[in-house]
Amino acid sequence: MAVFSKGDRVEVCSKEEGFLGSYYEATVVSPLHNNTLYKVQYKNLVEEEDQTRPLVEIVSADEVRPMPPRPTTPKEATRTFRYLERVDAFDNDGWWVGTITGKQGSKYWVYFETSNDEIAYPVSQLRNHLEWCNGKWVSCTKSLV
C-alpha cells in the first residue's frame, strides 16, 4: 500500500452501492492514524448542502491510489482501443471501469458490468485501465470472454 502526504494528488475508489468501479480525483488534505486513513478533498465532487464547496471525506488507505500515468505524447492521447479491451471512461465526475464493445465513427461503445449500461464516448473521455498492484501500475487484461 502506498503512503501519501499532504498535497498529494490521488484517486479514490468508491465502494458505495451504485458507484462500484469508479475512481475520483482528489488531493490528500492530511494522513490520519499512521496512514491507515486519509482526509481527502475531491476535485470534481461537491458537498450536497453547499454545491460551491468541494467534498471532503475521510477514506480508508485501501481506497486510495496514486494518479495513473497520463499520456506523454499526442499519439498516446489519441490512441485507438481494441474490442473487449478494459478502459476507464470519464463520466459523472469520475473514471468508471468498462469494456470496449464496439466503435461507431469517432466514438467507442463501453459496457459497464456493474450497471449493465453501454454508452458511447469520444476517445478524449477514455484512458487505459490500469491497476495499482504492489506499488506498480499494471495493465489489466480481463475481458468479457
CA-based R_g, the chain, Å: 16
Q: How many C-alpha atoms does 145 have within 13 Å on its Cβ side? A: 5
pLDDT at residue 30 in the model: 97
* Residue 141 predicted with pLDDT over 70: no
pLDDT at residue 143 in the model: 47
Q: Which three cell numbers stand for residue 88?
A: 476507464
How many Cβ atoms from other residues are within 10 Å of residue 4's Cβ? 20
CATH of the domain spanning 74-139: 2.30.30.140
Classify 9-66 by CATH class: mainly beta
Q: How much of the chain exceeds pLDDT 90, in percent?
A: 77
Query: Cα(first)–Cα(last) distance of the chain, in Å?
Result: 30
The helix/strand/coil state of 88 is: strand
Asked if the domains at 9-66 and 74-139 fall in one CATH topology, the answer is yes
Q: Which three cell numbers stand for residue 108?
A: 467507442
Instruction: Spell out the domain ranges in the chain.
Output: 9-66, 74-139
| Alpha helices, H only, the chain | 74-77
Contact present, 14 and 56 (Cβ < 8 Å): no
pTM of the model: 0.87
Write the pLDDT tens digit of every residue in 34-90: 999 999 999 999 999 999 999 999 999 999 999 999 877 776 666 789 999 999 999
The helix/strand/coil state of 138 is: strand
Computed over every residue of the chain, the mean pLDDT equals: 91
